[in-house]
Amino acid sequence: MQDTNAEYWMAKALELAEQAASCGEVPVGAIVVCDGQIVGRGYNQSIGACDPTAHAEVMALRDAARRVDNYRLVDCDLYVTLEPCSMCAGAILHARIKHLYYGATEPKSGVVASRQQFFDLDFLNYAVEVTGGVLADKASQQLSDFFRMRREQKKALKHSSLGDSGL
C-alpha cells in the first residue's frame, strides 16, 4: 500500500511536471521537503535555459539549498516524478538527501533501479533511502501523453510542409 503522505508530496511534484510540459520541456517535476514544508521546487528546464544540468531534481536541490542557506540538505526528502539519471543521483548524494521518492521508472537512463542501483554501490560514503513507484501510473501517463502530443505535432508539421510544397 502506498504511503499517503508520499502520494501527497508526489502530487505536488506532478503539478510542477505539468509546468515543464507547458513550457515544452519533458514533464518531470521535483520538490524537496523538510520538516513537513516544501523548501525547494524544480521542473525540467534544460531546453529553455540551454542548460544540460537543469533537470527537475537539480533545480529543486538548488532552490532548497538557497532557501535553507546550506548545500547540505540533511533530513530533507526529495520527491521526483521520474527515476533519476546518473547526474541527478550524484547531486542527490552530494546534497545528503535523506529519502528519495520517485514515481515512474526510466528504463533508458534511470540509475536508481532500472539501469543501475547507484545508491547501493559499496564505495559511497552516504546512504540515501529510496522508495520508487509513488504515483507511478500518473507519472507514466503524464510522460506518455506528452510524448504522444509531441509525435502528433511533428506529424502535423510534416504534413503541413508537404501540403505547402504542392505535392
pLDDT digit string, tens, across residues 105-118: 999 999 999 999 99
Q: How far apart are CA 55 and CA 58, in angstroms?
A: 5
Residues 114, 107 contacting (CB under 8 angstroms): yes
CA 134 to chain centre: 12
Q: Which cell numbers in the block locate residue 105?
A: 521508472
Secondary structure class of 40 (helix, strand, coil) = strand
Q: Which of 7, 15, 25, 57 is catalytic?
A: 57
* pTM, two decimal places: 0.91
Secondary structure class of 34 (helix, strand, coil) = strand
pLDDT given for residue 150 in this prediction: 87
Residue carrying the nine cell digits 521526483: 80
The domain locations on the chain are 4-162
Is 106 in the active site?
A: no
Q: Is 159 marked as binding a ligand?
A: no
Q: Domain 4-162 classified CATH 3.40.50.300?
A: no
Q: Is 55 marked as binding a ligand?
A: yes
Read off the pLDDT of residues 51-91 as tens digits, 9 standing for 90 and up: 999 999 999 999 999 999 999 999 999 999 999 999 999 99
Q: How far apart are CA 72 and CA 94, in angstroms?
A: 7
